[in-house]
Amino acid sequence: MLSEYIRSAMRRATYEILPDGTYYGEIPGFQGVYANDRTLEDCRQQLQEVLEGWIVLGLRLGHTFPIVDGIALGVEKEAA
């Protein structure tokens, strides 16, 4: 499920070439998930790494995540 969530989120990514010739990428709806690198492929790779770190941190902090292509990501709490 986690891998599919990441793939689905990455399909939403948008990229642009900046005036300095580098690539900027972000995933709309994922606040703070962006990357900038020399090539499009390097930018994509860095963006995925940022997304993965964002998810790990969010899970640790108990954040809620956007639902992507019907996939809801979160931690299930044990019943007391």
Taking only the tens place, the pLDDT of each residue in 13-70 is 999 999 999 999 999 999 999 999 999 999 999 999 999 999 999 999 999 999 999 9
Domains observed in the chain = 2-61 (3.30.160.250)
SS (H, E, C) 10-67: HHCCEEEECCCCCEEEECCCCCCCEEEECCHHHHHHHHHHHHHHHHHHHHHHCCCCCC
Token match 């019943």: residue? 79
Say if CB 73 and CB 63 are below 8 A apart.
Answer: no
pTM of the full structure? 0.90
Tokens of 12: 């939403």
